[in-house]
Amino acid sequence: MIVKPKIRGFICTTAHPAGCREQVRRQIEVARSRPRIEGPKKVLVIGASAGYGLASRIALAYGAGAATLGVIFDKPGSGSRTGSAGWYNTAAFEEFAARDGLYAKTINGDAFTREIKEKAIQTIKRDLGRVDLVVYSLAAPRRTMPDGTVYSSVLKTTGAPYTNKTIDLRTNEISEITLSPATPEEIEATVKVMGGEDWMDWIKALKDADAIALDATTVAYSYIGPALTHPMYKDGSIGEAKRDLYRTADRITECFGGVQGFVSVNKALVTQSSSAIPIVPLYISILYKVMKEKGLHEGCIEQMCRLFGERLYGGDPQLDEQGLIRIDDWEMRDDVQREVETLWRKIDNSNLAESTDLDGYWEDFYRMFGFSTPGVDYDADVDVEVMIPSIA
Ligand code: NAD
């Protein structure tokens, strides 16, 4: 079938198998070109099919030679419906890993459930013994509890309403948006979904089953960003969830004698979850322009190579005063943020093209779904029913 992008709001409902494969191949090339990581050998990546989780998997497999078990929540293609990008990314990753003699298996299902945790533990015990690193990279809109209760995360402020500029991704036009404050119940639900409870459950389940090494490391990801995003991110409902994640990292380190919990604060990048956040896409398109001009731009794979190669396994994680790893250091540099702020103040529809790297934003957006990728023939017939060899 010939696969074309179908954009609905801030997502694309189709994905291109050959384009996703090429994107994974390029990330592998980046990881291979970096100095070898003297790091973990058996890694569980929860949320391994896209964005930072996929890049973590690739950086560790190809940088450290690690065996990886991925947990994903994706759909295969069927008939005239394409699979999700995460499905094709994972199929490609497993294909390359098999070619290169790297262990790679994947479990598809809801990571919040006991059933998926059990499946992962069984696989680890059977194939790997114990894992020495757990990457927790979920970005989920909701979580269903064992009793059927569903919690949905919201992107709202926690104090007063907040008004600022945003970009309508359907029209590429700048407008103003006012974000309303979350109710206490909405904040609680956001913490349930994006906070640390499930991360803790994973580590406890692995520990109880003796499937995690005594001196293992575990890392989850967060974002802080500049003041203009604080009311809806750092100080918003999602920020409450991230603070819960920071406390969980400390609790993991305290509770499991030897296992160390970390949170890495990463750069703002185009991923399926960040494109859903108001204000952030406009900020990202300005940030891309400034960082590219300064030769500082990184994508997920460069960020993850730096995290594992230079911080977590590079001798010194260089924690900030809150105990966080900061690989958003280049994004937050004074000179970068000063320029972003100047552009942010003056940006409107008349100067959009010169004040942003909106083309770069859209390029990354399409590439996330396997489109706009050089070297891929988009007029060729492709099989959308791609198998993931190990899928369980
Ligand atoms: P993403 O949307 O690209 O990837 C999320 C992953 O989670 C996917 O593999 C998806 O399949 C998986 N997933 C979602 N729900 C699941 C479920 N119920 N069970 C199993 N897997 C599930 O997201 P991302 O942007 O890479 O975000 C990952 C983490 O990085 C999040 O904690 C996010 O807050 C953080 N982060 C993102 C950015 C950014 O700009 N994108 C910046 C800093 C930190």
Q: Region 225-247: what's the mean pLDDT? A: 96
Catalytic positions: 233
Burial degree of 363 (CB within 10 A; 0-12, 13-18, 19+): middle
Q: Are 376 and 19 in contact (CB under 8 A)?
A: yes
71 within ligand 1 shell (Cβ under 6 A): yes
pLDDT tens digits for 259-318?
Answer: 999 999 999 999 888 888 888 999 999 999 999 999 999 999 999 999 999 999 988 899
Question: CA-to-CA distance for 391 and 153, rounded, in angstroms?
Answer: 28
Question: CA-to-CA distance for 204 and 213, rounded, in angstroms?
Answer: 12
Per-residue CA distances from 14 to 22, 72, 87 (Å)? 16, 18, 12
Per-residue CA distances from 203 to 219, 266, 370 (Å)? 11, 22, 33
Scored b (16 or more CB within 10 A) or e, 211-239 reads: bbbeebbbbbbbbbbbebbebbbbbbbbb
Question: What is the distance in A from the centroid of ligand 1 to the CA of 120?
Answer: 19
Q: What pLDDT does residue 354 have?
A: 95
Ligand 1 atom index nearest CA of 245:
32
CA–CA–CA angle 13, 105, 3 (5° rounding): 25
Provide the pairing of β-strand 212-222 with 42-46: unpaired
Residue nearest to atom 28 of ligand 1 (CA): 137
Q: What pLDDT does residue 275 have?
A: 84
Is the pLDDT assigned to residue 392 strictly greater than 80?
Answer: no
Q: Is 163 helix (H, G, I), strand (E, B) or coil?
A: strand
Q: What pLDDT does residue 11 have?
A: 87
280 within ligand 1 shell (Cβ under 6 A): no
Question: What number of other Cβ atoms are within 10 A of residue 81's Cβ?
Answer: 13
Q: Which two tokens stand for residue 304?
A: 């993850």
Is the pLDDT assigned to residue 391 strictly greater than 90?
Answer: no
Is the pLDDT assigned to residue 16 strictly greater than 80?
Answer: yes
Residue nearest to atom 31 of ligand 1 (CA): 139
Question: CA-to-CA distance for 243 and 261, rounded, in angstroms?
Answer: 14
Q: What pLDDT does residue 345 have?
A: 96
The overall average pLDDT reported for the chain is: 96
Q: Are 248 and 261 in contact (CB under 8 A)?
A: yes
pLDDT tens digits for 22-77?
Answer: 999 999 999 999 999 999 999 999 999 999 999 999 999 999 999 999 999 999 99
Which amino acid does the sequence have at 43? V
Residue nearest to atom 30 of ligand 1 (CA): 221
Question: What is the distance in A from the centroid of ligand 1 to the CA of 79?
Answer: 28
pLDDT tens digits for 169-202?
Answer: 888 899 999 999 999 999 999 999 999 999 999 9
- To test the pocket of ligand 1, the residue of 221, 297, 331, 365 to mutate (highest count of ligand atoms within 8 Å of its CB) is 221
Output Rg (C-alpha) for the chain, integer angstroms: 20
Is the pLDDT assigned to residue 208 strictly greater than 90?
Answer: yes
What's the whole-model pTM score?
0.98
List all residues 6 or more positions away from 126 whose beta carbon is below 8 Å from its beta carbon: none
